[in-house]
Amino acid sequence: MSTVHPISAGGPGPLFWVLSVDKPGVVSTTRSGTYTPRPGATREDAYLEIYQEVTAGHHALRGATVLFFSLEPNRL
């Protein structure tokens, strides 16, 4: 799953993310993808957008607890 937005000149480029969520006794999942921040976006903006994308596609995941979130530059 990827979330891609236009990149600004000199921006950080795509970031790699991993998000694990859980609804005890119901469902849990770990997803990953890339995220290119909009100009002026914050880490919180990225987190909220990614969480929304992961949970919106599966009704049982709505309101799930985040177990793990990582957002790092997508380069070696």
User: What does the pLDDT look like over 9-50, one tens digit per residue?
Assistant: 456 789 999 999 999 999 999 999 999 999 999 999 999 999
Write out pLDDT tens, residues 54-66: 999 888 998 999 9
User: Do you know the residue count of the chain?
Assistant: 76
Residues 6+ apart with CB under 8 A from 26: 60
**Buried residues in 29-40 as b, exposed as e (16+ CB within 10 A):** bebebebbbeee
CB within 8 Å of 34: residues ≥ 6 apart: 2, 3, 4, 14, 15, 16, 17, 74
CB 49 within 8 A of CB 2: no
